[in-house]
Amino acid sequence: MAKKPTEQPAAETDGVSGLMATGLSLAQVNPAGASLGLQKGDTLQAINGVTFTQGIKTLRERLPSDHSKLCVLTIRRGAMDFDVLTDTHELGKWADVAPPAERPNKRLNPKALCNWELFKSTDETRPVYDLQPLPVPMMALIAAPMWLAQTRLWSALATQVALVALSLPVGLWVAGVVYAVTSLYVWRASRALFRADRIAQGLTPFAVIAAPNEIAAREVCEMMEPDLTYAFLYREDAADQDDPDKAMAGG
């Protein structure tokens, strides 16, 4: 007796264009993707806050190779979702995977966000993190000593102060030129100075996330790595524990 043919489920479409829904995952990461902290296996969940299930062709259209558009990509790594800003789809080799589940659409404005580079300690006895904004801060140019102090780049600050002080006996105008030149250098090298300093302290870059401000970026970092403490809060806590008077007052 012939068996009755089983009904095949209808192909799932994206609900917008009528195209078959598909997800995208990074099978390989190129240097552009690595510079954004992306890793093999990261999956694309949404673009500008809207669930994305339209495949690589549409992704290329949304993010052309000429870097003319900026978008917020929502990426899933394990059980964690995070956002990252990019102006290109060329972040590695994208592979088709099962489409992401529909999510409540919460539109994100790329112009309201910036990328933040996250660092974490490689020392298990000091579980801390730190972060820096990737857009070059204007404060590093117009008030370089203040920016260096704010970011705790003490060696660079000492170097700038020493160079200006050494040039003062020659004349105020010379000191002014030295200050301007060193401030320009600090501004242009700000990201590299911060990165080198934190690596020297035993921290390593581990992710890039998009957020509107430092507080929001720290919240995301603490969701990604709940066992880590912001580096300078950790130092303050450790100092309080080392000071018996403060420890008694806190008790």
Longest dimension (CA), the chain: 106
Are 129 and 79 in a shared domain?
A: no
- pLDDT tens for residues 172-212? 999 999 999 999 999 999 999 999 999 999 999 999 999 99
- Residue at 150 is within a domain: yes
Q: What is the pLDDT of residue 248?
A: 46
CATH number of residue 70's parent domain: 2.30.42.10
Are 138 and 76 in a shared domain?
A: no
For residue 33, give its domain range.
23-112
Residue 13 is classified by DSSP as B
Looking at the structure of the chain, the number of domains it has is: 2
Kindly report the number of other CB atoms within 10 A of residue 218's CB atom. 18
- pLDDT tens for residues 78-132? 889 999 999 999 999 999 999 888 878 789 999 999 999 999 998 888 899 999 9
Q: What is the pLDDT of residue 124?
A: 84
Confidence at 213, pLDDT banded by 50, 70, 90: very high
pLDDT, the chain, mean? 86
Provide the 3-class DSSP secondary structure of residue 67.
coil
Place of tokens 């000091």: 126
